[in-house]
Amino acid sequence: MINRNILTLDEFTLQQLRNFPKATGELSRLLREIGLAAKRVNVEVNKAGLVDILGDEGTTNVQGEEVKKLDVFANNQLIGVLKHGISCAGIGSEELDDIEIFDDELSNQSKYVCLFDPLDGSSNIDVNVSIGTIFSIYRRVSPLGTPCTKEDFLQPGRKQVAAGYIVYGSSTMLVYATRRGVNGFTLDPQIGEFSLSHANIQCPKDGKIYSVNHGNFFLYNSGVKKYIDACQKKTKETGGPYTQRYIGSMVSDVHRNLIKGGIFMYPGTTDKPNGKLRLLYECNPFAFIVEVAGGKATNGEQRILDIEPTELHQRCPFFIGSENMMAELESYLEKEKS
Ligand code: AHG
Ligand code: MN
Ligand code: MN
């Protein structure tokens, strides 16, 4: 029996407002809009295989639009809901070279800007493996009433007001964090609503899962290599060997480790010292979520949330997970430095 008394995403965000009589409800509206885009993306993700079978490339769909790649579809959905809403002054996206400033009277009065990776793990779409969406929300620093500016987006991650992700997995889940906590909502397909299924998520302090692309092993620095070696060994301190799990969709990999305990790494390599993942819409939102849940996130030298961004699409090495596993990793990185 499905419990129909659990709070939906909208009900939950409205409940939160009750505790803050001065709140304007703008953040709740933003989350509702992102939830709507996620539901639309979810429908497309679920029929991704069918579209390939039923629609020739270059054909048009019922709305007369060209059948687009899913990440472009997701990008357009997110921009659409945020542009039509009245809580977001502009967006930054993995799919766009530059920020998009909404610049209309209502949007210029909005206090938030939003950054997102519309579809994360998109190489997994064709093979029916979990993918996701990531988002990050900042209060703008430019004056209300004017168009938002690049500075609104280039804020350190610790300034995030909220961050979240959607995982399109065996069920579809939206997880979001504010400073007050991390909560997870599972899409109830019968009523088409995200419903609170994982209240107050805490990242276990210890874990037994490590997630890294082993194919790059010989391109990592010696500290990372030694830590990975240790993950595969039985030691008294760690209780290893750990289990290796790597989906190749960061959203799914970090989601699993957040719930079960574990560490996810995308280190720099000899050819790409800054790794692959993007600071503003991949690393920062996850660093915020995992820290609020009690875990840690660094670039190997510095807390992710303290990095002062200089560019919209900048990349950084990324290590994130359970507190004690992160401490162990850091001790290996430290030893190799000296
Ligand atoms: P995106 O699909 O948004 O480009 O991101 C894919 C990312 C991330 O989700 C994943 O952890 C990583 O790429 C996997 O990269 P490798 O195949 O190099 O391991
Ligand atoms: Mn991505
Ligand atoms: Mn992407």
Q: pLDDT tens across 140-160, in order?
A: 999 999 999 999 999 999 999
**67 pLDDT higher than 70:** no
Task: Single out the residue of 54, 57, 79 nearest to residue 66, CA to CA.
Answer: 57
- Cα 6 to averaged position of ligand 3 atoms, centre (Å): 32
Expressed as residue numbers, the domain containing 152 is: 9-198
* Segment holding 138, helix H or strand E: strand 131-139
Domain presence at residue 308: yes
- Tell which wins on pLDDT, 37 or 25: 37
Domain presence at residue 176: yes
**137 pLDDT higher than 70:** yes
Cα–chain center distance at 116 = 8
Burial of 245 (0-12, 13-18, 19+ CB in 10 A): middle
Please give the Cα distance from 156 to 305 (Å, whole number). 6
Q: In this structure, which residue's CA is closest to atom 15 in ligand 1?
A: 248
Burial of 9 (0-12, 13-18, 19+ CB in 10 A): buried
Q: In what order do the strands lie in the sheet with 112-120?
A: 100-101, 88-93, 112-120, 131-139, 160-168, 172-178, 181-188, 193-198
pLDDT at 101: 98
Domain presence at residue 18: yes
Cα angle, residue 197 at apex, residues 191 and 202 outer, rounded to 5°: 155
- Cα 41 to averaged position of ligand 3 atoms, centre (Å): 13
Choice from 277, 315, 319 to test ligand 1 binding pocket (greatest atom count within 8 A of CB): 277
Q: In this structure, which residue's CA is closest to atom 11 in ligand 1?
A: 250
pLDDT at 160: 98
The answer on 226 and 324 residing in a single domain is: yes
**60 pLDDT higher than 70:** no
- Cα 132 to averaged position of ligand 3 atoms, centre (Å): 8
Contacts of 229 (CB under 8 A, 6+ apart): none
Q: Which among 172, 198, 224 is the end of a domain?
A: 198
Please tell me the least confidently modeled range out of 15-19, 29-33, 108-112, 185-189. 15-19
- Cα 32 to averaged position of ligand 2 atoms, centre (Å): 22
Per-residue pLDDT band for 53 (boundaries 50, 70, 90) equals very low
Distances (CA, A) of 114 to 21, 110, 140, 173, 234: 24, 11, 10, 20, 44
Summary mean pLDDT of the chain: 92
Task: Single out the residue of 327, 298, 319, 317 nearest to residue 157, CA to CA.
Answer: 298
Question: Which letter, b or e, does each residue of 299-310 get, where b requires 16 or more Cβ atoms within 10 Å of its Cβ?
Answer: bbeeebbebebe
pLDDT (tens digit per residue) in 270-308: 999 999 999 999 999 999 999 999 999 999 999 999 999
Q: Which residues line ligand 1 (CB under 6 A)?
A: 94, 117, 120-122, 213, 248-250, 276
Cα angle, residue 110 at apex, residues 195 and 103 outer, rounded to 5°: 120
- Cα 282 to averaged position of ligand 2 atoms, centre (Å): 6
Domain presence at residue 103: yes
Point out the ligand 1 atom lying closest to the alpha carbon of residue 117: 3
pLDDT at 126: 79
**55 pLDDT higher than 50:** no
pLDDT at 114: 98
**221 pLDDT higher than 70:** yes
pLDDT at 338: 62
- Output the domain CATH number for residue 122: 3.30.540.10
**257 pLDDT higher than 50:** yes
- Tell which wins on pLDDT, 336 or 237: 336
Average pLDDT over residues 30-56: 82
The total number of structural domains in the chain stands at: 2
pLDDT at 23: 82
Point out the ligand 1 atom lying closest to the alpha carbon of residue 247: 11
Token pair listed for 101: 């400033």
**254 pLDDT higher than 50:** yes
Domain presence at residue 4: no
- Output the domain CATH number for residue 325: 3.40.190.80
